[in-house]
Structure 1
Amino acid sequence: MKAPSSPKKLTWILGLAAGILGIIGHYFQADILTQYNYELLLGGFIVLAIGTTFREI
């Protein structure tokens, strides 16, 4: 089994941004962020997981 690779900068920024928006939506009342906070947090985690699993992403 190969060791995980570091994600590209754009992938990391997108995953981090989605995760932060999900956390903000959970703790603060923002219409669209509060409605989709769990989806944003899950999406950010998935983007980061895919970015570390596959070398080209």
Structure 2
Amino acid sequence: MLRSIRTRLRDWIVVADPEERIEGSGEAIADPQHRRSPAATRELDRLRAAHNDHRDDRE
């Protein structure tokens, strides 16, 4: 019984083809909130300003 559990667990964890593994730089992945590109940050700032202007116009 333990042998079958261990076998199932190993088959579940192991990658069949090591070439299919995802390779990365080895650096820690930062919070997505801090990985925005400068263009995305500018667009968010523009949208925030437009939203605030629209809100101010309604008051």
Do they fold alike, i.e. is TM over 0.5?
Answer: no
TM-score (ref. length: structure 1): 0.40
Structure whose residues are more often helix by fraction: 1
Ranked by relative contact order (alpha carbons within 8 Å, sequence separation 6 or more), the top structure is 1
